[in-house]
Amino acid sequence: MMNICQSCGMSMKNEGLYGKNKDGSVNIDYCKYCYPNGEFNKFNETFDEMVESCIPYEVKEGFTEDEARKRLIQNLRILKRWR
């Protein structure tokens, strides 16, 4: 089973992409970009800010900005961090 970061929705295809807890152990819920060392990289980031920051990556995949925003709102709002 492939884990998806419960903050940004990125697929974590290998352990190197997982986040880290304060004690250095692997955190399987979040990716290394969102959760590098026991806390969120941007701890006070809002849901809307996360959606906006992910849009360029979706656009690179071929979606328009509007499509990307809709997809991200749907995909991210079910994740643990944003529930």
C-alpha distances (whole Å) from 3 to each of 12, 17, 77, 82 are 6, 10, 16, 17
- Of 3-11, 36-44, 51-59, 71-79, the window that binds Zn ion (rule: CB under 5 A) is 3-11
Q: Does 8 bind Zn ion (CB under 5 A)?
A: yes
What are the strands, taking DSSP E only, across 1-83?
A: 3-4, 11-12, 18-20, 26-31
Member of 12, 31, 50, 55 binding Zn ion (CB under 5 A): 31
Member of 18, 27, 34, 58 binding Zn ion (CB under 5 A): 34
SS3 content of the chain, % helix, strand, coil (to 5): 40, 15, 45
Member of 5, 50, 55, 79 binding Zn ion (CB under 5 A): 5
Interface residues with Zn ion (CB under 5 A) are: 5, 7-8, 10, 31, 34
